[in-house]
Chains A and B, each alone.
Chain A
């Protein structure tokens, strides 16, 4: 019994048993190896309830195409992390969901994505069938990298009609009217504005709109292009001062950092009359329809964000998620099939299906079907806003490279709740990595 003699025997027995176990477990388990080498095109999408439309479109595509498409989904919250892990591996998809802007910039820099010029040259409709303000936000260094899919999600200013009526105020058109309404609602013992500060991105929306209204879209673009001085400009400080005043006036109550939108905290405040306003993406409407159908029908009002007197931004400028996009990997083996698939994104079937689940596509044929939308009036309101908006600012967290998001959220939250003063906030924003 030598050490040398004994080791292999046990090891072999153990190893063999292990191999047996593994091969047993292998049977019956779906060992569908993903990757672009199986003769199919893989479409990678953010996994959520909207997947049913993507499934429907892929089924349509598979009926007409020799090269078949497969839908892969990644659970929502971890989409970007997972995407970054697989995109430069052999498991990379052919086509993937994204938010345009900074969310695909690193991939373009790493030379992984295919510019869509060639596709567009062959089928100009891939560009002309979409609203330009939306299509442009997936252009990087002047080249298009994304075809819009799903819908546009501008940020709107929602209110509870009943609360406003009780306080004797009208939906504010200007910043001064808003300040007045805040005071009046607060006097009634109601929190003027619901804010899901725990999620942090709802807080960001206030910055996005105020910077636009005060300074116009140019200031943020300058900062994004690497001009750190933009954050120190008088306009920037003016916008920050307005935010500070609003918070200090008690517009958001005191416990907004413990409230979330994602677990229905802030929408319920609005719906139950415990708050008067909420600044939120257009999905607020379907959220309310789902959770508080009575309220959505009767008392949910919506307007554009108030104007600011003397501000440089146009009153019809929008901020928000311009759209979701499909981008294409350079190394796809079936570019023709991918091009065919992308064409479906402006088909009538696509538009109808998206409208049916409450999304608002930004194709030029969308107006034809607005009557078929889940809420025609609301869909029309939004579509016209987006169509007419001189500028549609992509959400800051998506415009900046992904690596900036965490620090940006921290600075936003800390400025809002008073942990950071103006100077600290400016410094934090200047420290963010730009492209």
Chain B
């Protein structure tokens, strides 16, 4: 990471003296390169409909407001309240826990499924078409379905009491978290499987042929060729999982409503409660902003690691 930054700085300094006025730089060095104009419409559009509201959220986080009367400036009150609030602290931990568990379960599963589905056999094609279906269902539908399947008296737990005991899956923290992780895995694994399927097919066959000549078995090939070749896909899919994990809330809303008690009240759901159940928009905005900050830091770090932002240095090779 540090070398990359270094490279960029050098370039900037190198270019800087020559770039005044800017148009000359574009005219001379950047022949055939798109200018900011190409990015502008998207930036303006996104700014208007995503960033303006976000800025308003930031402002609201320093106010008390119930949506009815005018917002009142409250300084750091909301923030102070939050950091004394055991439910918030717990919710941050739960968010991280759910995200980490989600990544830990989904990543190996979707890599295995993806690599498996990358084979060209017909049965695999049919199966992967079925695997894809959960992705098409809205979260509300998925949650209603699993609630029915996991009903302690009429669902699977009633048939398999050796595994589920009294079936009180939503009555204990550990099992409720387990259900949440499982259901999101069920719904989002297809997406990541597809990512890996595509990437696995792109691995040059030559590599495998060479390995076979060296006498490497399937397992060795998987660890020494397939996995390293999937590195970029793994990071992309992880970014999506992390961001998705930190911002999930409808699964919680429908499956557990944050319960039992506050045991599955993750931050995004906590914010929703503050905003739409308690109508404390100030505090809700503070929680929201906190969540945005956490997710941004994490995704920036991951993007750095993945090399998504290295485009400048690769392009300099031109």
Contact = CB atoms under 8 A, between A and B. Distances in A.
A and B touch in the complex (CB under 8 A): yes
Contact of A258 (B38, B67, B170, B257): B170
Interface string A16-31: 0010000000000000
B171 A257 contact: yes
A3 B260 CA distance: 58
Interface string A237-257: 000000000000000011111
A255 B154 contact: no
Contact of B278 (A7, A258, A402): A402
A78 interface: yes
A377 interface: no
Contacts of B151: 258-259, 263, 265
A265 B153 contact: yes
A343 interface: no
Contacts of B69: 88, 110
Given A10-B41, A260-B147, A414-B260, A3 B36 contact: yes
Contact of B68 (A6, A7, A18, A84): A84
B167 A258 contact: yes
B247 interface: no
B37 A107 contact: no
A81 interface: yes
Interface in A1-43: 1-4, 6-11, 14-15, 18
A64 interface: no
B300 to A, nearest CB: 27
Contacts of A14: 40-42
Interface in A103-161: 106-107, 109-110, 112
Interface string B138-182: 000000100110111110000000000011111100000000000
Contacts of A269: 153
A112 B66 CA distance: 13
Contacts of A15: 41
Nearest to A198: B170
Interface stretch (A165-173, A307-315, A316-324, A405-413): A405-413
A254 B259 contact: no
A254 B166 contact: yes
B123 interface: no
B interface secondary structure, majority: loop
B314 interface: no
Given A255-B171, A402-B279, A1 B153 contact: no
A268 interface: yes
Contacts of A112: 68
Given A257-B170, A258-B167, A274-B153, A3 B35 contact: yes
Interface in B29-55: 35-38, 40-42, 44-45
B147 A263 contact: yes
B317 interface: no
A417 interface: yes
B40 A10 contact: yes
Interface string B241-285: 000000000000000011111100000000001011111100000
A263 B152 CA distance: 12
Contact of B167 (A80, A110, A255, A409): A255
A312 B64 CA distance: 41
A380 B179 CA distance: 45
A41 B22 CA distance: 59
A419 B26 contact: no
Contacts of A197: 171
B35 A255 contact: no
B257 A256 contact: no
B260 A81 contact: no
A85 B154 CA distance: 39
B168 A258 contact: yes
A410 B41 contact: no
A198 B259 CA distance: 8
Given A84-B68, A85-B67, A413-B260, A256 B171 contact: yes
Given A18-B41, A198-B170, A410-B262, A3 B66 contact: no
Interface string A257-287: 1111001010011000010000000000000
Given A7-B40, A11-B41, A18-B45, 18 more contacts: A3-B22, A3-B26, A8-B37, A10-B38, A14-B42, A84-B67, A84-B276, A110-B68, A198-B170, A255-B153, A257-B260, A258-B171, A265-B151, A268-B154, A403-B277, A405-B278, A406-B278, A414-B261
6 contacts: A84-B276, A198-B170, A254-B166, A259-B153, A265-B154, A419-B260
Interface pairs A-B: 9 shortest CB-CB? A257-B171, A14-B41, A255-B168, A7-B37, A81-B276, A2-B23, A110-B68, A10-B37, A403-B278
